[in-house]
Structure 1
Amino acid sequence: MKIEKIEAIPYVIPFRKPLKFASGEVTVADHVLIRVHTSDGVIGIADAPPRPYTYGETQRSIVAVIDDVFGPALVGQSILERERISAILDRTVHNDVAKGAIDIAIWDAVGITLGVSVSKLLGGYSDHLRVSHMLGFHSAQEVLDEARYFVDEHGIRAFKIKVGRRPMDLDLELCAILARELDDDIELYVDANRGWTANEAIAALPALADSRTSLFEEPCDARETMGRRRLVATSTIPIVGDESVPRPGDVSRELMSGGCDAVSIKTARGGFTNSVAVLGLCQGMGVDVLMGNQIDTQIGSAATVAFGSAFKATHSRPGELSNYLDLADDLIAEPLDIRDGVMKIPVGPGVGVSVDPDKLSRYRTDK
């Protein structure tokens, strides 16, 4: 069960509709497929989504660090020695998406080898997760129409609204319209992606509260330390750390300094092993968590639902799982399914998904 080879395969799939938000815009999935080959002939897979405007990683940097650094260092290691593998990866700073994809692919390989789903290996709390959908920057009518479509077509009853524009009235009016036009039992929360200052976010609080906003994610840059503390102390809406809390040390810093009082966990950002550590820290401190989204493909979404369904804490809230529906295509062989607002974990060992070789051949860019 030793690692023989790690492949990093770049590919590009366009989005049918771009997702726009305060820190960037995604028009194509220029991701990297990770394949970990073991001495037993097992291949574990994962998807690495570069987000240069958030974490600094690009498609080329992910391929390079895996080909030149991580791959050679991990060949010969047992896939069961995940703590040793984590220590090797952590010799190199940052590169959390590349590290996370390797970690997920190794967990996938372990599950396949043992014939057990990763979700059960992690905790096995449930076999499903309720779904939340992210709504990007568009006119109020377009966003409302999109939300109604996902309610009617997929039964989704939770939405994350991207905010952070100027003038702020654009977003505050949008939130008010969605709160008024959608059923009262539909959860609405917002994500500013650091688009506002702390003072602007504080000014937005009354309007957001009137629009029944349940969570306020990354309202301003966490480095705006004093303003962020003042915001958290002022807000009756929980302030969620996302890009400011990728690793346990970041989580403890932000929670103990008053920079946030809830945490978004993203498996694409650090993998399952890092996510377990973040979750344990949050549980020990009595902090709410939710499963976030890196604008993932179905391979990435399968990893999120595997983790989110495995624990009571992550299962208690809807996870952001559905934005792959905006992609023109996907690499996955058997598509995921959302019914009545719920996604079940794929049936099968490991993460439970596989790659369609014809689609990989069509979309890979290293041919």
Structure 2
Amino acid sequence: MKDLLIITNYYPPETGAASNRIFHLSQGLQKYNFNVSVLTPLPNYPKGRVFEGYRGRFKQTSIENDITIHRLWIYASNSKNKLLRLIAMLSYSLSLIWFFIWNKIPKTVIIQSPPLLVAFTSVLFLRSKKRKLILNVSDLWPLAALELGALKKNFGYKILEKIERFNYRHADLILGQSDEILAHVSSIYKHKNSLLYRNYPYFKAPLPTYKTQTSDKLKIVYAGLLGIAQGILKLCKELDYSKIQFHIYGAGAEQLAIQYLIKNNTELDIIYHGEVSRQKLHSVLTQYDVTIIPLLNRIYGSVPSKIFEYARLGMPMLYFGGGEGETVINKYELGWVANASDYTELNTVISNLDKTKLALENRIKIQKTALNCFDFNKQLKQLIEII
């Protein structure tokens, strides 16, 4: 049995795409005869506060589903203040250094990036000719931060670019969740070993169900992180509610602002349901006509994991983020697209939706496409063959 360590910022009981991705990866590798351990902070995402039951500890180690989970101290914060976010990343990096000094590290390590500084710390301290470092790149930082407006192209940005290049240079293998990510890495290091490794979900998909709505209004649902990148607050302000009702599930930085907007603008037909478990979400999504997957701006390299998860559920999708995600929606006929950041076109697309594509027959077709084309185990086997 081969020992393997996964270093990540996110892991259950935290929720979200990153947590789910690493959880399924660890479970999958364990089933294929790897002795997997996970190194992660004390759970705090997305609330920015360590969860109850984990507070007041510097480290907690547990065995969960035959996997050893080491949870380390972090100064937790989801503040918009860049300094506080930096302190949070540095605090976990210091905890990692402490762990590296006092513990034996396996010869195969998978490192999640971003966060860029956490990946840098791991690569810097673990690089060795005797160790294989696999960098799992889910977003391109600092480029994504620049496109979101969170960073400016100044001296600090150049430092982050150097850190990014350092990580790529010293990784033995790059896993990229999109072709754009792999193209970016190749533009920096042409012959770097890489593998397209999408964020495919792994769960038993219930058969699609759907009852034709009697209401004249189209029920659109968003479920997920209410963060800056998703732009749900702006979306709430820009949608035309004459023909739709907008339902929201999730939590994050924009949550309070969204709740305030709903409370003080009762003419907006928005219903906020709070945060629910992933399992419950899978059961409630089927009551809606279509799910929307937005990004505030087009982010190079980004392909939201919701595309693959909702396809597995047979949900028709309205994609509003541009880039490679748009290509996936069109190629596999999973729904509709509107140009990123063009809210006028978005409202036009919504008003002209072909409602025959909301029917149960099309949902079954979407699910079959997902089961055939977005196969978690097939992808995992490709990874195992090269590690």
Output the TM-score relative to the length of structure 2. 0.28
Task: Please tell me whether Structure 1 or Structure 2 has the larger radius of gyration of its CA atoms.
Answer: 2
Q: Which has the higher contact order (CA 8 A, sep 6+)?
A: 1
